[in-house]
Chain A
Amino acid sequence: MAAKAGASPATYSPSPTTYKKNRPPIFTDVDWVRPDGRDFHQCRPAFLRTGAVNAASGSAYAEFGNTKVMVSIFGPRESKKAMIYSDIGRLNCNASDNKEISSQLHKSLEGAIMLDTFPKTTVDVFALVLESGGCDLPVVISCASLALADAGIMMYDLVAAVSVVCTSSCLGKNLVIDPVSEEENYQDGGLMITCLPSRNEVTQLTITGEWSTPKIHEAMELCLDACSKLGKIMRSCLKESSSTSQE
C-alpha cells in the first residue's frame, strides 16, 4: 500500500479507491431467469422425511432442489469430552468437520432446545451434506430441528431457516430467496434468519456483505414469512411420519 507523505500514522485500513468493486456487472439489462424457473421470491419445494437412520435416536433427511442433507441425533448420552460439571445438558454439533457450519448450527439450535431436561448429558448432532446445491446452512438447520423433534428431545419450538441474497450489480436489483449455488456466487450480500415459527422468535440472524437499510427490512420480512411457511411444512411432515409409525 502506498504511504502518503505527511498523512496520518500508518494504518491498515483500505483506502477508499481500492474498496470500490471492480467486478463488472454480468447482466445489466438482461433479466436474470433462475435456473429452475422460480420467481425471485419463491422457495424450492421441500422434501422432508424423518427416521432415515435406524441406529440413531432420531434422524431426518431433507431435499430442497439439489441440496440434500441428512442429520442424525444421538443422545442424550454421556460424553467423554465433558470436563466441567454442568447443571444443564450440552449440545454438540458436527457437520463433517466443517467448523463454520457446525458452530452456526450450534448457535441456532441451542436457543430452541430445553437443555435443563437432560442435565450432565450431551446430545450429539451429526449433519452430513450429501449434495450441496446452494443454501446449505439453512437446510441443515431445518433438517436438524426436524431430527431433534423425531428423537424426542424437548424443544421450545421447531427451528426453520431461510436465506436471502441481495444482488445489486449482477442480477438486477433484486432480492433472491433460497438461492442456488450459482446465485450465491453472484451475491452482494446474504442474510439468513433462523426462527421459531409459532413463537415468532429469532434464534440467529446472519448478515454478510453490502446491504442498505430498506433492503434489510424487506429481506427480513421475506425470510420470516418463508420461515413460517416452512414451519408448517415441517409440522405436517412430523405428524405424517409419527402417525404412520403408530399404525
Chain B
Amino acid sequence: VYPKERGTPYKLLPFVVVLSPAAIEVLETLFPVPNSQPQSRKKDRMQEKIAEEEMVTPGEVLGKGSEVKAGRGAYIAPYNNTVYASLTGRRCIVPSSPESPDQRPTVEVIGHKAHGPVPEPGCVVIARVTKVMARMASADIMCVGSKAVREKFSGIIRQQDVRATEIDKVDMHTSFRPGDIVKASLSLGDARAYYLSTAQNELGVVSAESMAGGTMVPISWTEMQCPLTGQIEQRKVAKVGA
C-alpha cells in the first residue's frame, strides 16, 4: 500500500473492495439482521404469511377486490375490481391485523427471482465516494438497505446535505475523501444522479482509509485516527452502534 499524497484525487479501480472480517463485523453492527431484534418481530408474528405451493404469473387473477387487498407484487384493476398478480412467484396471503378497520387479508406475490434492488426515496444506502469537489461530492451507490446492487448507481452529496447545522460553512474536503464508505439517505434527485444526504447523526463516513493506508478509527463527530501512524484526519463521521 503506497502512501497517498494529500489532496490528489485518484481514480478508483472498478472492483469491489474485499471486506476483512473486522469490516464485516462493523457493517453487521450498522445493519443488524432483523431476526435478532425481538421488538420488531412481535408485529410480524401477528401477521404470519401463508405461502402457497402454486406459482402465479403476471396477469393471473388472485381474487376479487371486495375480498382481498393488493399487496406487493399484485395490483387492483379499477374497472372490474379484481386483484391481478404483477410478478412471477408464489402467492401468499397475509391476514389483516385485528385492530385495523379493513378486515380483508392482503395478497402478495413473492417473486422467485428478484432483480437487484432499485433505490427508493428515503431509503438508507451505502456509497463509496469517488470525487470530492468544492460544493459537492460524487459517490457510487453500492448497497440499498442491506442488499448489494447489481450495477452501481450514481449519487451526489451536496454541500447543504452534509450536516444539519451551519450548512453554508461546510468544507467538503474535511467531510469526505475519495474512497470513503458513507451511509446516506437517498432522494430521487435530478436526471443525472441521486441526491444523498448525511445530515443525521447516524449517517456519514463509516469506514475510511488513512493516507498511510490503515483503516481509521472514529474518535469524534468530525475526526478519525489512523492506527498505524496516529495521524488524525477530518471526516463527517457516522454514529455507529446502539
Report how far A234 CA is from B58 CA in the complex, Å: 11
**A185-205: which have CB < 8 Å to B?**
196-199
User: Which one of B148-156, B205-213, B234-242 is at the A interface?
Assistant: B148-156
| Complex Cα–Cα for A238 and B57 (A) | 7
Q: Mark A221-247, 1 if CB is under 8 A from B, else 0.
A: 000000000010011001100110110
B24 located at the interface, meaning its Cβ lies under 8 Å from any Cβ of chain A in the complex: no
Tell yes or no: A183 within 8 A of B by CB: no
**B84 cross-chain contacts in A, Cβ below 8 A:** 156-157, 198-199
Partner of A158, one of B54, B58, B75, B151: B58
Q: Within 8 Å of chain B (Cβ to Cβ): is A1? A: no
Say yes or no: is A207 at the interface (Cβ < 8 Å to chain B).
no
Residue of B with least CB distance to A235: B57
A121 touches B118 (CB 8 A): yes
Inter-subunit contact A149/B57 (CB<8 Å): yes
The answer to whether B118 and A197 have CB atoms under 8 Å apart is no
Q: Which residues of A contact B150 (CB under 8 A)?
A: 57, 77
State whether A156 touches B58 (Cβ < 8 A). yes
Known: A85-B191, A151-B113, A152-B113. A242 touches B59 (CB 8 A): no
Inter-subunit contact B77/A246 (CB<8 Å): no
Which chain B residues lie closer than 8 Å to A83 at the CB level? 191
Contact B191 A149 (CB under 8 A): no
Is B26 an interface residue, CB under 8 A from the partner? Answer: no
Counting chain A CB atoms within 10 Å of each CB, the highest count among B57, B84, B153 belongs to: B57
A104 to B: closest C-beta gap in Å:
21
Tell me whether B188 and A155 are in contact (CB under 8 A). no
Are B86 and A197 closer than 8 Å at their CB atoms?
no
Taking a contact as CB atoms under 8 Å apart, the answer to whether B86 and A156 are in contact is yes
Name A119's closest neighbour in chain B (CB-CB). Answer: B188
Q: Tell me whether A242 and B89 are in contact (CB under 8 A).
A: yes
**Across the interface, do A114 and B86 meet the contact criterion of CB distance under 8 Å?**
yes
* Count of chain A residues with a beta carbon within 8 Å of a chain B beta carbon: 40
In the complex, what residue of chain A is closest to B112 when comparing beta carbons? A242
Complex alpha-carbon distance, A1 and B153, angstroms: 59
Cα A119 to Cα B187 with chains together (Å): 11
B61: chain A residues at CB < 8 Å are: 198
CA distance A155 to B188 in the complex (A): 22
- Residues from chain A with a CB closer than 8 A to the CB of B154 are 78
Assess the B86–A77 pair: CB atoms within 8 A: no
Give the contacts of A74-93 with B (CB-CB under 8 A): 75-78, 82-86
- Chain A residues numbered 40-77 whose CB sits less than 8 Å from any CB in chain B: 57-58, 75-77
B113 touches A156 (CB 8 A): no
Nearest chain A CB to B159 CB, angstrom units: 21
Asked whether A120 is an interface residue with its Cβ less than 8 Å from the other chain, the reply is yes
A120 to B111: give the CA distance in the assembly, Å: 22
Decide if B55 is an interface residue (CB 8 Å cutoff).
Answer: yes
B86/A155 in contact, CB under 8 A: yes
- Give A contacts to B, CB under 8 Å: 57-58, 75-78, 82-86, 114, 117-121, 149-158, 196-199, 231, 234-235, 238-239, 242-243, 245-246
**Residue positions of B touching A, CB distance < 8 A:** 54-55, 57-61, 73, 75, 77, 84, 86-89, 111-116, 118, 150-154, 188-191, 194
The 8 A-B pairs with the shortest beta carbon distances in the complex, nearest first, are A157-B59, A85-B191, A154-B86, A198-B59, A239-B55, A155-B58, A242-B112, A235-B57
Name 11 interchain pairs, CB-CB below 8 A, sorted by A.
Answer: A58-B115, A114-B86, A149-B57, A152-B114, A155-B86, A158-B59, A198-B59, A198-B84, A199-B84, A238-B55, A242-B113
